[in-house]
Amino acid sequence: MVRFVGCAALAAVALLSANCVAGAQDARQNVPGQFDFYVLSLSWSPSFCEAVGERGSPPQQQCAARPYSFVVHGLWPQYEHGFPEFCQVPAPRIDGGIVSSMLDLMPAPRLIFQQWDKHGTCTGQSPSGYFETIRKVRAMVKIPPEFIDVKEMLTIAPDEVEEAFVKANPGLARDAIAITCDSRRLSEVRICVGKDFRFRACPDIDARACRRDKVVMPPIRQGRSAALTRE
C-alpha cells in the first residue's frame, strides 16, 4: 500500500510539473495573431555553410557561389516568455510568386516554406502579408559596414558585433539584440521588433545569447556582388 501511494504521489508531481512547463509558455499558446513582438533572425551565411560542410549535409542553395553575408533566417512571433509555432496545420499554401520574390532575402525555397509553416502561420497574416512584413522589418535594419564584405576570417567578441549593430541603427538598444553562436562561430544576430515596428527590449532573447569571449566569422564566399549585402 505504501508503495502504491508513493507511485501515485510521484505521478501527481509529474503531472503538475508538466502543467507548469506548459504554463511557462503562454495562455495564448499557438493562437494565430496572438503574440507580443517579433524577432528578426539574421543568419551569417558563411557560418551556416561551413557548418553544413562539416556535417557532410547535402549542399544548400545559399551555399553556392553567390557571396551571401547576412541573410534572413526568419521573422518569429514571440511571447514575453516563450513563443508560438505551427499555429495552422496544415498551413495555407504559399504562391510560387511569393517564394520567388523572397529569394533575395531568404535564398532557399525550403527555408521560405519552413518559416511560413512554423512561424508565419502564428502571425495571423496571409502568406503575402507575412512576407511583406519580413521585408519591412528587414528594411529597418542596417548592416554595419564592417560586415558587408568580410574577405578574411574574422575573430571578434559577440559584444563587438552587438555594439556595431547598435551604432549602425539609431534607436536599437543593447537589450533589443542578441548574438548567437555555435561552438566557435557566430551564427545569428537576433533583433527584437514590436508590432509597431520599433525596436524593443526582449530579456528572454538576450538571456539565450552567446556567452563566448570570442567567435569567428568565416569570410564571404567570393563571387559577384549580391544586392542584399549592400545598404
Q: What is the pLDDT of residue 27?
A: 80
CATH superfamily label, 31-229: Ribonuclease T2-like (3.90.730.10)
Lowest mean pLDDT among 28-37, 48-57, 124-133, 198-207: 48-57
Between 198 and 6, the more confident residue is 198
Instruction: Note if the pTM is more than 0.85.
Output: no
CA dist., res. 70 & res. 45, Å (int)? 6
CB 37 within 8 A of CB 200: yes
C-alpha distances in Å from residue 8, one per residue of 1, 2, 11, 20, 88 = 11, 10, 5, 18, 36
228 — pLDDT class (breaks 50, 70, 90): very low
Residue 9, pLDDT > 50, answer no
Q: Mean pLDDT in the chain?
A: 85
CB 177 within 8 A of CB 190: yes
- Burial label for 231, CB within 10 Å (0-12, 13-18, 19+), is exposed
Helix runs in the chain, H state only: 2-23, 45-55, 96-102, 109-118, 127-140, 158-168, 203-207
**Count, residues in the chain:** 231
- Domain range summary for the chain, segments of one domain joined by +: 1-27, 31-229
**Quick check: helix, strand or coil at residue 15?**
helix
pLDDT > 90 in the chain, percent: 73
88-101 pLDDT per residue, tens: 999 999 999 999 99
Q: What is the pLDDT of residue 67?
A: 75
C-alpha distances in Å from residue 119, one per residue of 2, 35, 77, 142, 209 = 48, 11, 7, 23, 20
CA dist., res. 44 & res. 152, Å (int)? 14
